[in-house]
Amino acid sequence: MKVTAEKNEKVANMIFGSIYPLYLNRLVKNGRTKEELNQVIEWFTGFNQDTLHALIDNKATYKTFFEKSKIHANAHMIKGVVCGYRIEDIESEFELYKQTRQLEKLIDELARGRKMEKILRKEKK
């Protein structure tokens, strides 16, 4: 599938705090914890617990959320298909949409029981 400017804009204006509980519910149903979710988000965005919850409380949009983040240097290693979109094929002009899908991929891996060491990607030496 191809990302459109309209789709990118729609995601940019979504409130992160309204989606966070959906991520959490999915993970809890699959035997994972809020701490694990926050660990994955912290690895990907650089947000500690306080910053993350401040963004949620302030009803930050995905656009604001990702503008304030410091995306992990190994984020380029997040590959695969999420919601019909191949992450590595999303054009650079839709970086925000790509980052959203990368985060969803990490959460998906967590929900499926993947080990944290694999989710938090490291460069091979």
Q: Is residue 111 predicted with pLDDT exceeding 70? A: yes
User: pLDDT digit string (tens) for 53-77?
Assistant: 999 999 999 999 999 999 999 999 9
pLDDT for 123: 79
Q: Is residue 124 predicted with pLDDT exceeding 80? A: no
Q: Is residue 125 predicted with pLDDT exceeding 80? A: no
Alpha-carbon distance of 111 to 33, in angstroms, equals 10
Q: Phi and psi of 50, rounded to 5°?
A: -65, -45
What domains are defined for the chain? 5-119 (1.10.8.290)
Kindly tell me the number of DSSP H helices and DSSP E strands found in the chain: 7, 2
Count of CB atoms situated within 10 Å of the CB of 67: 11
pTM (two decimals): 0.94
Mean pLDDT (the chain, rounded): 95
pLDDT for 65: 97
Kindly indicate the confidence band of residue 22, based on its pLDDT and cuts at 50, 70 and 90: very high
Contact call for residues 61 and 15 (beta carbons, < 8 A): yes
Alpha-carbon distance of 103 to 4, in angstroms, equals 19
Alpha-carbon distance of 98 to 108, in angstroms, equals 15
